[in-house]
A and B are shown apart, each in its own frame.
Chain A
Amino acid sequence: MSSLGAWPSVPAAGGFGPASYVDGQSAAVAVVTAQLAGAELRILTAGAIVPLVTWRLSDLTVEAGDERLVVRCHTAPDAELALADDAARGLAARLAELGVSRAGARFASTGGRGRRWRLVVVYGAAIATLVTAIYLALPGLARAIARRIPLETEAAALGDPIAARLLGDVCRTPESDAVLADLRRRLDPAGDARAVEIVNLAIVNAFTVPGGRIYLTRELIEEARSLDEIAGVLAHELEHVSQRHIMAYVVRSSVLSLGWAVTVGDFSGLMVVDPSTAFQIFNLRFSRADEASADAGAIRRLRAAKIPASGIVAFFERLRAKTDGGPEWLQTHPLSERRIRRFREADGAPASAGATAAAADALRRLRGACAGRAGKRTVWDALRGKDGAPGSPPGPGSRGE
């Protein structure tokens, strides 16, 4: 129902109406008829010969809504002429013929509702195309951007605050440092990683923080049965560093967050390295492509270092047996059959007996790194700095699960 009440939409002679007119000086509304005469729009009250007001067509702006037309004039910005239904369509058509307004032309040709569903299809298709293009282009774009950000910048902006929180959990002895240094020399001759450390955390895992720091947890060291197993895990993490997977993930997330903020207008989600963000970084799930790429690179590193891949295969198979039953998507590092097969197929010759003995000794020295520590913290507690200030070493007996 239009806002013009129940009057029949019968135009006066040569006019369009009934229409409502306000002059912008008082709130009184006049019921009028609009007439087109040459290059002018005349507005007349019922029965009047002299127009209430005359507007030049070149000064008009037209707004078309559903079944409603509002006409304004630049020279009297507060004045307004409103029509509805047939009167609106009639005037819109005439204005379109005279080339006055595209809004009026669109309204006249199809009415307000007619275009609606066509527009839904067009806009919807455009948005879907745009989003798909962004989704497809984003990984490559993120990788390209990540490679251009120096590792030091990544460390300073994101990694060092996390490293500071984990500082109190790092375990080391001169013997364990020497073993790790030897592993790094063999697996990472280019020096991609900034540091490899053991942390006293209650989870079997290894993780990389932004800036190239790799952490192997105490539980992982204790779970491993050979140095080859640790070497395999370390080789995998080194590939995440050298391929800049973390920075690419951060860029991807930031672009998506920014895109969301831009779309909905909320810019409050600035990235800071608070405990929850740090936890997300720790807990992030690389894409399958990133994992496959890291696995392939790890195999190359193991071959170059003449370390058999059987170690990591055995480690994965043992872990999978322990954690079996849970859905793969819940695990931070999914142990799919495909991944295990990849390493199994890449396995080289077994190590010599002498090398095995030396490796066993090295493993013992690694396990000794955390020997003096009474308990292990969870990752979340470590990143929040629970039971002590962030990054501060634990007091005696101050930590434990």
Chain B
Amino acid sequence: MEAPSAAQSPGAGALAPAGATGVARFAFRGEGGALFVLLLKNVLLTILTLGVYTPWARTERRKFLWSNLEVGGARLAYTGTGAELLRGYLTVAALYAVATLIGYSGRLISRSAELLSQLAVVASVSFLIPFAIYWSRRYLLSRTHLRGIRLGLGGSAGAYAREAILGGLLTVLTLGCYFPIIANRLHGMMVNNTYWGTERFKYDGRDRDAFRIYVPGLLLSVLTLGVYAFWLAAKIRRFRMEHTVFQGARGRLDLTGGTLFKLMVGTFLGTTLTLGLAFPWLTCWAARELASRARFEGPIDFNVVRQRERVGSAAADDLAGAMGVDLGV
């Protein structure tokens, strides 16, 4: 880690990630009680407005989660607005109406025409999914600030979609054997195109290494009726984090399968047994546990991280949400 700049006082401590230790830790500071109040307010206003408040509710939820996540002592900020999401919702609603009309228009002609038109709609929606994933990530990152500098996703959604569709076809043709490779490549595309200001993240996880993790892991998961899936998921997350690099710092994640099992099962059981009331506390608990295990180790020169142009639209974000592929950072 470089010596403190003139803009920083000596001993700035947690404000300067890495500092003398060269480590930028993640931490989640949110409290379940605060999230509970927020969710109650969201439910009340959503019911009162017959759903019109939904985009603002979603924005408030994101603001809470973002603003309580620390990276190297500095908190994220979410700058998206409910109005942006509302525009996105209306766009998606219009597309949905058009798709429904097309899907049922065949009924006016014949049964087979109805089936064909519905198939066409399903195929179109499936084709759009990778675009929606990419656009959604782009929107979320463009509305995320860390230390006042915007994150962003460059690259091309078309290139990502092309890779995803071809990779999907290859996965089917290889009876699933290609899946670890396409999953790794798509993740790599996302990370390699992710920016913090003018500085780009890098992903150096090799396809063959990912394949070596997935294949025995999937087999073991099947043999253990899914129990090993938690350990496989933890391994994949560790692999991805450890091959993510920002400037001179490399990611680290101390997440085990046991911890992931505890978090996921604990959250599920706790939410179910309390009819959802414990959800806010469990969410914050899980976020705290996961964040505390992540960090970047190595030097980061914050002075070269400068502001970049803004990209991304809310319509894409809601398109992804409507198709069930909502993403967070």
Of the four ranges (under 10, 10 to 19, 20 to 34, 35 or more), the interface on chain B belongs to 35 or more
The answer to whether A29 touches B8 (Cβ under 8 A) is: yes
Is the contact region of chain B dominated by helix, strand, or loop, or is it mixed?
mixed
Most buried by B among A25, A30, A261, A265: A265
The answer to whether B14 touches A27 (Cβ under 8 A) is: no
The answer to whether A5 touches B12 (Cβ under 8 A) is: yes
Q: Quick check: is B101 within 8 A (CB to CB) of the other chain?
A: no
The answer to whether A126 touches B44 (Cβ under 8 A) is: yes
Q: For chain B residues 275-329, which have a beta carbon within 8 Å of chain A? A: 302-307, 321-322
Is the contact region of chain A dominated by helix, strand, or loop, or is it mixed?
mixed
Query: In the bound complex, how far is the Cα of B197 from the Cα of A113, in angstroms?
Result: 34
Chain B residues in the interface with A (C-beta under 8 A): 5, 7-9, 11-16, 29, 31, 33-34, 36-37, 40-41, 43-44, 46-48, 50-51, 54, 58, 67-68, 70, 73-75, 77, 79, 145-150, 196-197, 302-307, 321-322
Known: A28-B302, A113-B34. 5 other contacts (CB 8 A): A4-B14, A27-B305, A28-B147, A66-B34, A113-B31
Q: Quick check: is A51 within 8 A (CB to CB) of the other chain?
A: no
Identify the closest chain A residue to B9 (Cβ). A31
The answer to whether A123 touches B146 (Cβ under 8 A) is: no
Given A3-B75, A120-B37, A130-B44, answer yes or no on A31-B8 (Cβ-Cβ < 8 Å). yes
The answer to whether A130 touches B302 (Cβ under 8 A) is: no
Given A4-B14, A26-B302, A29-B16, answer yes or no on A123-B44 (Cβ-Cβ < 8 Å). yes
Instruction: State the total of A-B contacts with C-beta under 8 angstroms.
Output: 140
The answer to whether B75 touches A27 (Cβ under 8 A) is: no
Q: Quick check: is A290 within 8 A (CB to CB) of the other chain?
A: no
The answer to whether B147 touches A116 (Cβ under 8 A) is: no
Given A5-B12, A120-B40, A263-B47, answer yes or no on A78-B149 (Cβ-Cβ < 8 Å). yes
Given A66-B31, A78-B148, answer yes or no on A20-B307 (Cβ-Cβ < 8 Å). no
Can you report 21 A-B residue pairs in the complex whose CB atoms are below 8 A from each other? A4-B15, A20-B15, A24-B149, A26-B149, A26-B304, A27-B148, A27-B302, A66-B31, A66-B34, A70-B77, A80-B145, A113-B33, A113-B34, A117-B33, A120-B33, A120-B36, A123-B40, A123-B44, A127-B47, A261-B51, A263-B43
The answer to whether A263 touches B46 (Cβ under 8 A) is: yes
Q: Quick check: is A223 within 8 A (CB to CB) of the other chain?
A: no
Given A65-B67, A123-B40, A262-B54, answer yes or no on A29-B74 (Cβ-Cβ < 8 Å). yes
Q: For chain A residues 63-88, which have a beta carbon within 8 Å of chain B? A: 63, 65-66, 68, 70, 77-80, 82
The answer to whether A265 touches B58 (Cβ under 8 A) is: yes
Query: In the bound complex, how far is the Cα of B5 from the Cα of A130, in angstroms?
Result: 56
Query: In the bound complex, how far is the Cα of B14 from the Cα of A31, in angstroms?
Result: 11
Query: In the bound complex, how far is the Cα of B67 from the Cα of A99, in angstroms?
Result: 25
Query: In the bound complex, how far is the Cα of B321 from the Cα of A46, in angstroms?
Result: 46
Choose one: B33, B48, B77, B197; the contact of A27 (CB below 8 Å): B197
Q: For chain A residues 103-122, which have a beta carbon within 8 Å of chain B? A: 112-113, 116-117, 119-120
Q: Quick check: is A7 within 8 A (CB to CB) of the other chain?
A: yes
Identify the closest chain A residue to B57 (Cβ). A265
Query: In the bound complex, how far is the Cα of B116 from the Cα of A330, in angstroms?
Result: 42
Q: Quick check: is A259 within 8 A (CB to CB) of the other chain?
A: yes
Q: In the complex, which residues of chain B have a beta carbon less than 8 angstroms from the beta carbon of A3?
A: 14-15, 29, 70, 73-75
The answer to whether B14 touches A25 (Cβ under 8 A) is: no
Taken residue by residue from 1 to 41, chain A's Cβ proximity to chain B (1 for < 8 Å, 0 otherwise) reads as 00111110000000000001011111111110000000000
Q: In the complex, which residues of chain A have a beta carbon less than 8 angstroms from the beta carbon of B322?
A: 267
Choose one: B34, B48, B148, B196; the contact of A24 (CB below 8 Å): B148
Most buried by B among A26, A31, A124, A259: A26
Q: In the complex, which residues of chain B have a beta carbon less than 8 angstroms from the beta carbon of A123?
A: 37, 40-41, 43-44
Q: Quick check: is A45 within 8 A (CB to CB) of the other chain?
A: yes
Query: In the bound complex, how far is the Cα of B50 from the Cα of A21, in angstroms?
Result: 40
Q: How far is the CB of A9 from chain B (nearest CB, A)?
A: 13
Choose one: A31, A119, A124, A130; the contact of B48 (CB below 8 Å): A130
Q: In the complex, which residues of chain B have a beta carbon less than 8 angstroms from the beta carbon of A46?
A: 9
Identify the closest chain A residue to B34 (Cβ). A66
The answer to whether B37 touches A26 (Cβ under 8 A) is: no
Q: In the complex, which residues of chain A have a beta carbon less than 8 angstroms from the beta carbon of B51?
A: 261-263
Q: In the complex, which residues of chain A have a beta carbon less than 8 angstroms from the beta carbon of B306?
A: 25-27
Q: In the complex, which residues of chain B have a beta carbon less than 8 angstroms from the beta carbon of A25?
A: 148, 306-307
Q: In the complex, which residues of chain B have a beta carbon less than 8 angstroms from the beta carbon of A7?
A: 11, 13
The answer to whether B15 touches A5 (Cβ under 8 A) is: yes
Query: In the bound complex, how far is the Cα of B303 from the Cα of A24, in angstroms?
Result: 12
Most buried by A among B9, B146, B148: B148
The answer to whether A31 touches B12 (Cβ under 8 A) is: yes
Query: In the bound complex, how far is the Cα of B273 from the Cα of A283, in angstroms?
Result: 29
Q: In the complex, which residues of chain B have a beta carbon less than 8 angstroms from the beta carbon of A126?
A: 44
Choose one: B9, B40, B54, B196; the contact of A265 (CB below 8 Å): B54
Query: In the bound complex, how far is the Cα of B12 from the Cα of A26, in angstroms?
Result: 17
Q: In the complex, which residues of chain A have a beta carbon less than 8 angstroms from the beta carbon of B16?
A: 29
The answer to whether A130 touches B149 (Cβ under 8 A) is: no
Q: How far is the CB of A334 from chain B (nearest CB, A)?
A: 27
Q: In the complex, which residues of chain B have a beta carbon less than 8 angstroms from the beta carbon of A263?
A: 43, 46-47, 51
Query: In the bound complex, how far is the Cα of B33 from the Cα of A30, in angstroms?
Result: 31
